[in-house]
């Protein structure tokens, strides 16, 4: 899969947020995600404005983990991951899994131990990160820094 293929796929997946009944999502972003320049300052401002716009939707929660968060409060997991809970009818309950992706592979994990490890990391990260309003203000400041 080429980088162009990955970009097209991500842009396609973003359309889910514009559906009539969009999913509820919660992100914790490292400050490095907001400051690492891709495509120049104008592109960075546009991306940050988009994140701020999304963060105002009731179903999208965005938090920022700033560089100055105390080291003891960070997650030991160094790879990005997505926890998914997909509603399922019947006694089986929802489908729960973790999605991980890097340059060489995409993995879906449903192992209880692997899920528990990432759920614990998620709790630590979301607790240590800035609150929703603080994160929005932080993103606005970073966008101003790119002017």
pLDDT tens-digit series, residues 131-144:
999 999 999 999 99
Q: For 82, phi and psi rounded to 5 degrees?
A: -125, 130
User: Which pLDDT band holds residue 57 (cuts at 50, 70, 90)?
Assistant: very high
| DSSP strand pairing (60-65 vs 25-30) | parallel
| Residue 40 scores a pLDDT above 60 | yes
In a domain, 7, yes or no: no
Give the residue from 107, 56, 104 showing the smallest Cα distance to 81.
107
**Judgement on whether residues 44 and 90 belong to the same structural domain of the protein:** no
| Residue 72 scores a pLDDT above 70 | no
3-state SS assignment for residue 38: coil
High-pLDDT (> 90) share of the chain, %: 37
**Judgement on whether residues 52 and 86 belong to the same structural domain of the protein:** no
In a domain, 31, yes or no: yes
In a domain, 34, yes or no: yes
How many structural domains is the chain composed of? 2
**Judgement on whether residues 88 and 123 belong to the same structural domain of the protein:** yes
High-pLDDT (> 70) share of the chain, %: 93
**Judgement on whether residues 96 and 110 belong to the same structural domain of the protein:** yes
Q: Which residues pair with 89 in a beta bridge?
A: none
pLDDT tens-digit series, residues 102-132:
778 888 888 899 889 888 888 888 888 999 9
Alpha helices in the chain (DSSP H): 3-14, 31-35, 41-55, 112-128, 132-145
Alpha-carbon distance of 70 to 72, in angstroms, equals 6
- Block residue for tokens 């994990």: 109
| Residue 58 scores a pLDDT above 90 | yes
**Judgement on whether residues 81 and 123 belong to the same structural domain of the protein:** yes
**Judgement on whether residues 40 and 74 belong to the same structural domain of the protein:** no
In a domain, 107, yes or no: yes
Length of the chain: 147
**Judgement on whether residues 95 and 56 belong to the same structural domain of the protein:** no
Token pair listed for 141? 């400041």
Q: Which domain does 135 fall in, by range?
A: 22-67+130-147
Alpha-carbon distance of 137 to 140, in angstroms, equals 5
Q: Which residue would you say has higher pLDDT here, 128 or 58?
A: 58
């Amino acid at each position: 899969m080429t980088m162009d293929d990955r970009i097209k796929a991500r842009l396609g997946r973003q359309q889910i947020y514009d559906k009539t009944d969009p999913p509820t999502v919660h992100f914790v972003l490292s400050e490095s995600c907001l400051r690492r320049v891709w495509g120049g300052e104008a592109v960075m401002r546009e991306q940050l404005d988009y994140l701020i716009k999304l963060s105002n939707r009731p179903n999208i929660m965005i938090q920022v983990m700033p560089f100055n968060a105390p080291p003891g409060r960070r997650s030991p997991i160094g790879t990005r991951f997505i926890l998914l809970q997909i509603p399922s009818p019947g006694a089986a309950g929802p489908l729960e899994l973790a999605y991980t992706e890097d340059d060489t592979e995409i993995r879906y994990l449903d192992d209880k131990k692997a899920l528990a490890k990432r759920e614990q990391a998620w709790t630590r990260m979301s607790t240590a990160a800035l609150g929703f309003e603080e994160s929005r203000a932080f993103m606005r400041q970073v966008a101003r820094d790119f002017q």
